[in-house]
Amino acid sequence: MAADRASYLRDLGITVWTRRGGSAAVVPAADADTAADPLSREATIATLDWPALEQTVRGCTACGLRAGCTQTVFGVGVRRAEWLIIGEAPGADEDKQGEPFVGRAGQLLNSMLTAIGLKREQVYIANILKCRPPNNREPKPEEAELCRPFLERQIALIRPKLILALGRIAAQNLLNTETPIGRLRGQVHQLGTIPVVVTYHPAYLLRSPGEKRKAWVDLQLAVRTLRGQGP
Ligand code: URA
C-alpha cells in the first residue's frame, strides 16, 4: 500500500523521498422535466428519491444536449459518501460508458484520490452537466442552469461532508461566481453548510503537469477541512 501511494504521488508529480532504511516521506509539492414552470420543475426535482431522480435525468430533454449525446451520465459512487467530487461535463469516454471520469482525466482523478487515501469507490462523483456537450465545448450558462436542480438534489440526498470542485466551470457554477479559479483555490467556500474546496481539473493537470503541485496543496486543504482542522 505504501508503494502504491508513492507511485500515485509520483503520478501526481509529487516528489517522494525515501529515508534510508525507512518509509517514504512526502515533500510538499419525469415529470419534473416536462414541468413548464421552472419553479415547479425545481420544486418537483427537489422531492425525488434516487430512483426517481435517476429516471428523470434519463428522460430529460430540457436543454437540448440530450439529442446529441449517447446517454446521460448521472453520477457514480456511494450515495452517502463524505466526499462529493464535481467535474464539468461528460467527455467522449464518459458518454460512451455512462459513468463520469472514466477517461484519462478520470485515471488522474483516481490517482489524486489515492494520494489522499481514498478509493474511487468511497466517494461520489458527478458533473455540472449530465449530458456531453458537442465536441467537448464548455457548458453554456443556460445548460448549467437547467441541469443544476439535478445536482442540487444529489447533494441534498448525499449530504457530503465536503465538496471538491474540479476546475473553473465546476467551481464557478457551484459557487455562482465569475471569480477566476486561481483566486477560488486556497480557501474553503460554503455551499449552504457544506464546505467546498476548489482545485484544478485533472484534464488541465494533464496539459499542465507543472500545476500538479498546487493540486496536491488543494487536496491537503480538503483533507484538513474534512477532519475539522480548518484551512
Ligand atoms: N471531465 C469532466 O469534467 N467530467 C467527466 O466526467 C469527464 C471529464
Confidence band, pLDDT 50/70/90 cuts, at residue 1? very low
The confidence score (pLDDT) of residue 20 equals 42
Is 194 within the bounds of a domain?
A: yes
If you take atom 6 of ligand 1, which residue's CA is the nearest one?
100
Cβ 90 under 6 angstroms from ligand 1:
yes
94 CB under 6 A from ligand 1?
yes
* Total tally of structural domains belonging to the chain: 1
DSSP label at residue 137: P
Closest to 198 (Cα-Cα) out of 149, 228, 162: 162
More confident residue, 5 or 25: 5
Answer whether 69's CB lies under 8 Å from 94's CB: no
* 94-140 pLDDT tens trace: 999 999 999 999 999 999 999 999 999 999 999 999 999 999 999 99
Q: Which of 199, 201, 206, 207 to mutate to test the pocket of ligand 1 (most atoms within 8 A of CB)?
A: 201
**130 lies in some domain:** yes
Assess if residue 65 is contained within a domain.
no
Band the pLDDT of 24: cuts 50, 70, 90: very low
Residue 160, Cβ density class (10 Å: 0-12 exposed, 13-18 middle, ≥19 buried): buried
20 occurs within a structural domain: no
CATH number, domain containing residue 185: 3.40.470.10
Counting Cα atoms < 13 Å in the Cβ hemisphere of 55 gives 8
Ligand 1 centre distance from Cα of residue 166 (Å): 9
41 in any annotated domain: no
- Domain contains 124: yes
Which is higher by pLDDT, 35 or 138?
Answer: 138
Residue 50 lies in a domain: no
How confident is the model over 178-210, as pLDDT tens digits? 999 999 999 999 999 999 999 999 999 999 999
List the domain range (segments joined by +) for residue 6.
2-12+73-226
